[in-house]
Structure 1
Amino acid sequence: MGAVEYLASAPVKTTVQNVRAFEDGDKVVLQTVYNFAGAGEQVAFDVFRFDENGKIAEHWDNLAALAPANPSGHTQIDSPVEAADLEKTEENRAVVQNFLHDVMQGISMVYDTVHQVLAQGNMVLAISEGSFGGAPTSYYDLWRVEDGKIAEHWDVMETIADKATWQNENGKF
């Protein structure tokens, strides 16, 4: 039974809560909370690329279990949800790209390749590849930029599956 058939026949239906959405050219970014057939809530970043006919041509995602609030009371999905400062999109994209290159290098999380940096206004999503604890890892980092500085950050890290288990030839990125 395929995934779609399983979800359609499950006794508990899948729920979807879109938290944030923005677009960058032919791509749309969603931050979403899913509960697939009652298996537990997961927070995800989904990126869809649309073709010239407005149809979905490609899809990338990263998912992780929805965690409880941290000690300061923040969650993986709180804070402003609407993109603002649209006139600063390129400036904010550069802030995040520079931060990834200048600051995130040399820490226990290794960022080897930044595949995409998608932005609209003050919301910037970086999709990167590297390793965490020696395991190949995909990083989806969403940043909110305010006055040229990083104000907030949300992320989903996911271990990249072994290529032998892939269900397509496109890969993770």
Structure 2
Amino acid sequence: MDRKQIVITAGAELFGDRDPTAVDRHWAPGFRQHSALGPDGPDGLKAVVGQLPPDFRIDMLRMIQDGDMVATHSVYHGFGPDPMVAVDVFRLDGDRIAEHWDAFEPLPGGHEGAHRTGGPPEASDAERTAANKALVTEWVHERLLGADQDALEELGRGHYYVEHRPDRRLTRRTLRRVLGEGDLVLTLTEADLEPGDGAPGAPVPAGCYDLWRVAEDRIVEHWEVVQPVPERMPHGNGFF
């Protein structure tokens, strides 16, 4: 079973079947949690699943694998009145999930929500993985960090480019992780998120997961999930 299939099977058994013994089968005994949703370790994960509402489900949008890491772009249903769009990142040790990070935010309904999540569901051009990761990494360092709006507006002037992000003010400061498979590259940055709708207040620290699609040596599509870094976490492992 490849690493993608391990994540799919583990999620289906734990969150679909609500079978807590799936944690014993698919998660490592020393499982390390970075999510704000629950405590550390296998028992913390079982506690989270035991508190999920009856109508909770996860709709997978996209999945990439890079070495021992698997990342998913998905929609959570059942956490509240609106669905949540999410990125989850898993580190596997052998055939067990050993570590997990995530970020999620409310997803509007209707056309806006559909646009935020639309686009090709599968990675392609596997032979271009290394080149595409290098291209995105260089572009993020040279153009995006500290100058988000200008850099994204520059991309948007290309007739080939599709933007799925909402309208908000965000300044990415530090690149923390780059994962890729084929034409899909995922970056995680530490960012400063300004209050929405012109509300007063200082920017807040946030984690920003950007998913980029690359074709013919240029970025042609972009999705993002941004979550403010919680002031308190249910563990000592940190958000990043």
Which amino acid in the other structure matches residue 161 of structure 1?
Answer: P
Q: Secondary structure at the match of 2:51?
A: helix
CA offset digits 1:124-165 (Å, max 9, x no partner):
000111212221010000000000100100001110011xx2
Note the 1:105-116 alignment, pairs <5 A: 105-107=145-147, 109-116=170-177
Indicate conservation of the 8 Å contact 1:44/1:62, yes or no: yes
**Is residue 2:38 matched to residue 1:29?**
no
- Point out the structure with the larger strand share: 1
Matches of 2:81 and 2:238, distance apart in 1: 25
Which amino acid in the other structure matches residue 66 of structure 2?
Answer: D
Matches of 2:145 and 2:80, distance apart in 1: 38
Closer, same or farther in 2 for the Cα pair 1:20/1:101, shift >3 Å? same
Which amino acid in the other structure matches residue 238 of structure 2?
Answer: G
Matches of 1:130 and 1:17, distance apart in 2: 27
**Is residue 2:126 matched to residue 1:57?**
no
Larger-gyration structure (1/2): 2
TM-score, normalising length: structure 2: 0.64
Note the 1:4-153 alignment, pairs <5 A: 4-7=49-52, 10=53, 12-37=54-79, 39-52=81-94, 54-67=95-108, 68-70=110-112, 75-107=115-147, 109-133=170-194, 134-153=203-222
Q: Secondary structure at the match of 2:115?
A: coil
Measured after TM superposition, the shift of residue 105 of structure 1 is 2.8
Measured after TM superposition, the shift of residue 101 of structure 1 is 1.3
Q: Secondary structure at the match of 2:117?
A: coil
Measured after TM superposition, the shift of residue 104 of structure 1 is 1.4
- Unaligned 5+ runs, structure 2: 1-46, 148-168, 195-202
Q: Secondary structure at the match of 1:103?
A: helix
Matches of 1:160 and 1:37, distance apart in 2: 19
Indicate conservation of the 8 Å contact 1:119/1:125, yes or no: yes
**Is residue 2:43 matched to residue 1:3?**
no
Measured after TM superposition, the shift of residue 39 of structure 1 is 4.0
CA offset digits 1:65-102 (Å, max 9, x no partner):
113434xx961211111111111111111121122112
Give the structure 1 partner of residue 8 of structure 2. none
Matches of 2:71 and 2:131, distance apart in 1: 19
Compute the RMSD of aligned alpha carbons. Answer: 1.8
- Point out the structure with the larger helix share: 2
- Unaligned 5+ runs, structure 1: none
TM-score, normalising length: structure 1: 0.87
Runs of 4+ in structure 1 deviating by more than 4 angstroms, as ranges, are none
